[in-house]
Structure 1
Amino acid sequence: MRAKYERLLDYLAETDDWVTAGELADRLGVTTRSVRSYVTSVKTAAKPLDVITSSTSGYRLNREAYASFVTDLRTRDSESGSPRERVHSVIRALGDAPSGLDVYDLAVSLYVSESTMEADLRKAKILIEEAGLSLARRGSVVSLAGSELNRRRLLSRIFRDESAQGFLDLENIQREFASGDLGANLGAFKSDLLAMLDGEGYFVNEYSINNVLLHVAIAVDRVSKEQSIGPAEERPASETIREIAERLDGLIRAHFGTALSVRELTYLSVLLTTRVLTPGHDQPTETVASTYLADADLAEMRRIVRLASEEYLVDLDDDDFIVRLSLHIRNLVARAQENSYSRNPMTRSIKGSYPMIYELAVFIASQIQRSEDITINDDEIAYIALHVGSHLERQNLREERVTCAIVCPNYYDMHVMLRDKLEAELGSELQVDVVITRADVDWAALSSDIVVTTIQAPTARDNVVVIQPFLTATDFEAVRRAIATVRRHRRRMQIKDELLQYFDERLFWRNLTAPSEAVMIRTLGDSMRALGVIDESYVEGAIERERMSSTAFTDTIAVPHAMVMSASRTAIAIVVNETPMAWGENRVNVIALIAFSESGRKAFQDVFDQLVEVFSDRDDLQRIVKRASDFPSFIDELVHVMDT
């Protein structure tokens, strides 16, 4: 029940609006009766907090109460009496007892029955074996069997499982090791470590450094208990690793009073260089390339970037971008070979907000997978997307600035101050093309994208923003929302006609189901093949692309496609379902198999992003799902939501 109502809370947390029981039932794949049961369970578990408000409009979260409830849940999970924490406590205890522990003594120490302890050991065994260890048993004595390195990886794993969403923050690590001076000194150690790395000319990935801090804390704690990972490996460390290890040794001795072995320091230094550090901060691109990259690696990255540029018609031919991405990929390959990926807290938002950039990253990742014979997961793809997105941002591949008319009746120089403040705050997004200082305004003659006015317009207009004479934070946010609305409408109008011509009544389905993503892709692909749009290789390519990373870019739409543009013509086969279908980790109402032709290459980026954007809006989606009973009504509703 806990897992089920957490999914309900996650969905409610995505919106401030009321959500009906029917919508929640569709999203969770259950009945409305089950939804009511989950809501009741939340209210019972959260007492006296009023987490969910119910009304005839549906359900809505009370944000403050929800935040307190989440904190309370984490506290409960960390208490020794919870089932998960008991399993973790058993693993920790076994890790600290090389000779093993008596099952009956364990049961007594955790205040559970012997049968409960046996059940906990079965659960622990799964985690233990996943870490490359085994659970040995002789009579009533159980022990861990395997390397110290794998024991540490297991400790790291269970700690991450206890953290919110699997991501680490310094406070949680400090709390875990609070019994001695280790936890108290971690903050100062991190500050000195960052200063040292910055001084050595490294870029630091702040999203990953706390993971390495956890490994440092585990190493110091284990060594203090005389649990070392053993002698140094025969393979010599690089000069870079040796230098970082030497400096790390000094910091660990200074902050924790502990001397780690050469292998311990080498292991931690490898973690730093493959997960956290990128060299070349404040160094010329040519120097970075010649110092840190092999010619063959750089040549391979140039090949991949050239392919991506040709396939998606973007300009990625930039030495700085290629060198920085090559350094990142070098570390990614090292992580993948160890099956030790970096987690990325932005994966979901990048995938949903920038589907085209994410798709470029998927293409690059697919080429790397083939050349290096590795697997790259969604989190690592999202890091590649950050590199791609940052480069495209620097190229200013953005919409043009929104034009603005200011209406501010003359009173001293108030209109001047108003314009100065707007341009100072929003100058990169807003272009003021007229300032009207009269009160008798010809509103119909104003042709700017938006009108910012200190007086009320006589008739309601969507593009008019009424503000205070002295701008407040609320006013700035209102103008930003208006800018976003204009840009959204502009993008939609630019490609509406183009998008609509790709739909075909013969490639439209209402309430079409399939047992899996692959079956759905084949079903839609067969229809496209019958019309001569694509061949079998395109269908297989779409399934292969789906295996790499789910094409459910949001919770509402999946956009399966191949990474080649080999269709005879550009077309979209689309399914609109009242009941969502499981797709990857999401449940989607819309599935759109896209096939692009070579001649449609230029439109690919805009159409792809626009399709995801249109169906990502919950209200627009619900309107289309409810009203699009056939193909003509689907087109009517699609045009309506794109025009608004």
Structure 2
Amino acid sequence: MSLNKKEAELIKLLSQHHDWLSAAFLAETLSTSTRTIRNYVTRINQLTEHEIICSSRQGYKINDAVQIDDILSLSKKEINTPKDRINYLVNLLIQHHTINYFEAAETLFVSIPTIEKDLLRLRKKMEKYRLKIIKNGQHLTMIGEEIDFRKLTSDLLQDEALRNFQSLDYVQTIFPDVPIETIQKIVVERLSNQHLYVNGYAINSLLLHIAIAIDRLLHHQRSDIEMTSELLSEDQLEYKIATDIGKDIHQALSIEMDLYEIHNLALLLMTKISPANETFLREYMDTSIYAFISQTMETVAEKYFITHISEELILNLALHVSNLISRAKRGKQVSNPLSEEIKQSYAFIYEVAIFIAKQIQKQINIPISDDEITFIALHIGSYFEEKFETENKLNCVIYTPEYYDMHKRLVYKISDIFKKSINITGAFYRLDEQSRLEMSNSDLVLSTIELKEFSNTVQLSPFLSGKDIDKVQKAINRLKQQKLVADLKESIGKYLTSERFERNVYLSSEYDYIDYLGSKLIESQHIESSFIELIKEREKMSATSFNNSVALPHAIEMSAKKTGISIILNDRPVQWGTHYVQVIIMIVMNQRDMKKFRQLFDFMIDTFSTSEKLEQLLLVQNYEAFIEKLFD
């Protein structure tokens, strides 16, 4: 078993520190979830007889007795081989046609002679595509016919699809028993045979669909719905590709994909291969279903502040919902063994899926099960996670004096490396009143000159070394954490008062707790009495208990008169759905505070799901001590 890119990054990060690092810190640094960090640690520790990463209540650290270099040799290489460097140069040349290879050498941390050796190999490789590399001073230019550029691009994209670690990582984490890498190779090869390419998100979506299908088949959940070929011809390209993929999976995994699964895969392929298929798909699944999902996703975008919902996501989800409605009407809802794990690990995504399920439920007047809600969460998960990642970017100002083109290269490199973490709101080459004002209002200042007047400054070298990159990343993590804690302190201090903090209240059921906590919020003029029914309605769709520790009853609607929180801490666990909890937190939200809901929701679940933190908080006896310990 080899390490994937993220696992290698985790080991490197831990090896750079001698102290314990929390799962939250590691998740933030590697742009993933704490759950995924735990999965990485489990996989890494299976590589050798000895434990590689030690774990404790303090977090994780590297076992000093382990030879890290030997472990990292198992990882897929970064840009440190001639092949990797050549691919990097080719990508630059395709994008820009002319590049400065001195700058490329600096970015790759290699010498000019090394790049020139790579250039000889690159020229030989381009002969296959009848493309030429012309060197003029410090610049390289690629020339040739457009058709040859396209052939080169197509080949590179196929290679990229096979190396799309993020997609593999996301789907494999959800379906640990399904060999995702094998399926990926089958799909990419079958598409390549037809000279077709789909992007990383589309590959992820295809893999997810096939993984769900295989998981169902492994659990003997074959559909009894007869598929006809009246609309979808067996001569159609997508149907042929789907049939070939099904045969390959049967041969590789001894799992037979029946006609129902082949038919659905063909429809899904139509959403990936050509936009011309969209009209056919809309007609196939009933215009009303497509229009309904399109309208629902517009509401989701508005409600959860998603800037754009792709047409591809709407089509994929509409196809899934079309089948879901068919199953529900026939009383044939499927089982999903991962429901509980998805609900606990991706709580907010699951919450968005519940909102979508509620709209479907209203439309067909048939209850939607937890298992079906989970499948909706899987379909929207990777798309929404990527959108949420860009939510909390820091505003950054760069100050570097002009010196030839070095200042421009520095700004470009910073924007490229940290594009997911920062918005560069200004780049200044001299200090004046305007630049000082911008710096004082910015979250982060990056400067090649010492600036003592701004506390949020990170000083860099003009060449942006590896150490500089590490410094900036640490500063980003620290500032994000400080910003998050400050926002949470402000929100919880505003929404939770001492009157709504209670200890040891024991009632008969979760609905009694909802009535009890809701009555407190009615008294304080946060909600109308009718709002309690909305909370109960949400609870009936799927229990709001998490990780045998905390319950978070709330409504899907954000129609409270004002946002508020009520909380009960119990010494003895009480049953809530299938879990036993000791913390009950009711959150009622006004729509104008919706952006804070995800922040509060995730924070409460993460905090009270940590056993050490839970034990500490259960010892406090009053509101003041609770607030202090919560942010300790």
Normalising by structure 2, report the TM-score. 0.55
Q: Give CA-to-partner distance per residue, 1:321-350, whole Å, 9 cap, x none.
A: 654532342244456664336787994687
Alignment counterpart, residue 382 of structure 1, candidates 377, 381, 386? 377
Matched, 1:430 2:392: no
- C-alpha change, 1:370 and 1:171, in structure 2 (3 Å) is closer
Q: Give CA-to-partner distance per residue, 1:95-141, whole Å, 9 cap, x none.
A: xxxxxxxxxxxxxxxxxxxxxxxxxxxxxxxxxxxxxxxxxxxxxxx
Which amino acid in the other structure matches residue 452 of structure 1? Answer: L
Structure 1: distance between partners of 2:450 and 2:464: 16
What is the CA-CA distance between 1:450 and the residue it aligns to?
1.8
Structure 2: distance between partners of 1:511 and 1:18: 35
- C-alpha change, 1:492 and 1:511, in structure 2 (3 Å) is same
Report the counterpart of residue 287 of structure 1 in structure 2. 279
Report the counterpart of residue 9 of structure 1 in structure 2. none
Matched, 1:325 2:320: no
Map 1:247-266 → 2, pairs under 5 A: 265-266=258-259
Q: Give CA-to-partner distance per residue, 1:158-185, whole Å, 9 cap, x none.
A: xxxxx9875334389x8xxxxxxxxxxx
Matched, 1:170 2:179: yes
Residues 567 and 585 in structure 2, CA contact (< 8 A), matched pair in contact too: yes
Report the counterpart of residue 573 of structure 1 in structure 2. 566
Report the counterpart of residue 521 of structure 2 in structure 1. 528
Matched, 1:298 2:259: no
Residues 527 and 560 in structure 2, CA contact (< 8 A), matched pair in contact too: yes
- C-alpha change, 1:514 and 1:264, in structure 2 (3 Å) is same
Which amino acid in the other structure matches residue 296 of structure 1? Answer: S
Alignment counterpart, residue 542 of structure 2, candidates 542, 549, 563? 549
Structure 1: distance between partners of 2:579 and 2:460: 40
Structure 1: distance between partners of 2:628 and 2:251: 71
Matched, 1:451 2:445: yes
Report the counterpart of residue 49 of structure 1 in structure 2. 50
Tell which deviates more after alignment, 602-611 or 192-201. Answer: 192-201
What is the CA-CA distance between 1:402 and the residue it aligns to?
1.1
- C-alpha change, 1:299 and 1:510, in structure 2 (3 Å) is same
- C-alpha change, 1:514 and 1:458, in structure 2 (3 Å) is farther
Structure 2: distance between partners of 1:497 and 1:164: 35
Residues 344 and 380 in structure 1, CA contact (< 8 A), matched pair in contact too: no
Which amino acid in the other structure matches residue 450 of structure 1? Answer: L
What is the CA-CA distance between 1:316 and the residue it aligns to?
7.4
Structure 1: distance between partners of 2:175 and 2:530: 38
Structure 2: segments with no counterpart, 5+ residues: 1-10, 23-45, 67-171
Report the counterpart of residue 368 of structure 1 in structure 2. 360
What is the CA-CA distance between 1:297 and the residue it aligns to?
1.5
Q: What percent of counterpart residues are identical?
A: 22
Structure 1: segments with no counterpart, 5+ residues: 1-12, 21-44, 67-162, 175-185, 220-228
Q: Give CA-to-partner distance per residue, 1:586-633, whole Å, 9 cap, x none.
A: 77664321223xxx3211232442453377356995698278532244
- C-alpha change, 1:624 and 1:539, in structure 2 (3 Å) is farther
Report the counterpart of residue 351 of structure 1 in structure 2. 346
Q: Give CA-to-partner distance per residue, 1:489-544, whole Å, 9 cap, x none.
A: 45665686565333233211135566764454343234335556546653343233
Residues 627 and 637 in structure 1, CA contact (< 8 A), matched pair in contact too: no
Alpha-carbon RMSD: 5.8
What is the CA-CA distance between 1:572 and the residue it aligns to?
1.4
What is the CA-CA distance between 1:367 and the residue it aligns to?
1.8
Structure 1: distance between partners of 2:60 and 2:580: 20
Report the counterpart of residue 140 of structure 1 in structure 2. none
Report the counterpart of residue 207 of structure 1 in structure 2. 208
Structure 1: distance between partners of 2:554 and 2:542: 11
Q: Give CA-to-partner distance per residue, 1:26-55, whole Å, 9 cap, x none.
A: xxxxxxxxxxxxxxxxxxx99963578699
Structure 1: distance between partners of 2:517 and 2:314: 37
- C-alpha change, 1:465 and 1:344, in structure 2 (3 Å) is farther
Which amino acid in the other structure matches residue 333 of structure 2? Answer: N
Structure 1: distance between partners of 2:496 and 2:218: 57
Which amino acid in the other structure matches residue 355 of structure 2? Answer: F
Report the counterpart of residue 153 of structure 1 in structure 2. none
Secondary structure in 1 matching 2:426: strand
Structure 2: distance between partners of 1:164 and 1:308: 26
- C-alpha change, 1:282 and 1:475, in structure 2 (3 Å) is farther
Structure 2: distance between partners of 1:46 and 1:421: 35
Matched, 1:339 2:337: no
Residues 574 and 590 in structure 1, CA contact (< 8 A), matched pair in contact too: yes
Secondary structure in 2 matching 1:570: strand
What is the CA-CA distance between 1:568 and the residue it aligns to?
4.7
Map 1:83-162 → 2, pairs under 5 A: none
Secondary structure in 2 matching 1:361: helix
- C-alpha change, 1:314 and 1:52, in structure 2 (3 Å) is closer
Residues 570 and 618 in structure 2, CA contact (< 8 A), matched pair in contact too: no
What is the CA-CA distance between 1:18 and the residue it aligns to?
6.0
Structure 1: distance between partners of 2:392 and 2:430: 29
What is the CA-CA distance between 1:468 and the residue it aligns to?
5.4
Q: Give CA-to-partner distance per residue, 1:567-600, whole Å, 9 cap, x none.
A: 454321123467877766777664321223xxx3
- C-alpha change, 1:604 and 1:412, in structure 2 (3 Å) is closer
Report the counterpart of residue 480 of structure 1 in structure 2. 473
Structure 2: distance between partners of 1:215 and 1:612: 30
Residues 565 and 595 in structure 1, CA contact (< 8 A), matched pair in contact too: yes
Structure 1: distance between partners of 2:52 and 2:394: 41
Which amino acid in the other structure matches residue 359 of structure 1? Answer: E
Secondary structure in 2 matching 1:205: helix
Secondary structure in 1 matching 2:587: strand
Alignment counterpart, residue 609 of structure 1, candidates 596, 599, 608? 599
Alignment counterpart, residue 560 of structure 1, candidates 553, 557, 574? 553
Structure 2: distance between partners of 1:389 and 1:334: 26
- C-alpha change, 1:528 and 1:390, in structure 2 (3 Å) is closer
- C-alpha change, 1:482 and 1:285, in structure 2 (3 Å) is farther
- C-alpha change, 1:332 and 1:197, in structure 2 (3 Å) is farther
Q: Give CA-to-partner distance per residue, 1:216-236, whole Å, 9 cap, x none.
A: 9999xxxxxxxxx9xx99774
- C-alpha change, 1:324 and 1:567, in structure 2 (3 Å) is same
- C-alpha change, 1:625 and 1:579, in structure 2 (3 Å) is farther
- C-alpha change, 1:513 and 1:469, in structure 2 (3 Å) is farther
Which amino acid in the other structure matches residue 504 of structure 1? Answer: T
- C-alpha change, 1:556 and 1:65, in structure 2 (3 Å) is farther
Which amino acid in the other structure matches residue 353 of structure 2? Answer: A
Report the counterpart of residue 623 of structure 2 in structure 1. 631
- C-alpha change, 1:316 and 1:537, in structure 2 (3 Å) is farther
What is the CA-CA distance between 1:414 and the residue it aligns to?
5.5
What is the CA-CA distance between 1:294 and the residue it aligns to?
1.4
Residues 556 and 588 in structure 1, CA contact (< 8 A), matched pair in contact too: yes
Matched, 1:471 2:474: no
Residues 306 and 317 in structure 1, CA contact (< 8 A), matched pair in contact too: yes
Normalising by structure 1, report the TM-score. 0.54
Which amino acid in the other structure matches residue 606 of structure 1? Answer: K
Tell which deviates more after alignment, 576-585 or 559-568. Answer: 576-585
Structure 2: distance between partners of 1:400 and 1:53: 32
Map 1:18-57 → 2, pairs under 5 A: 49-50=50-51
Q: How many aligned positions are there?
A: 469
Structure 2: distance between partners of 1:313 and 1:60: 34
Larger Rg: 1
Matched, 1:507 2:508: no
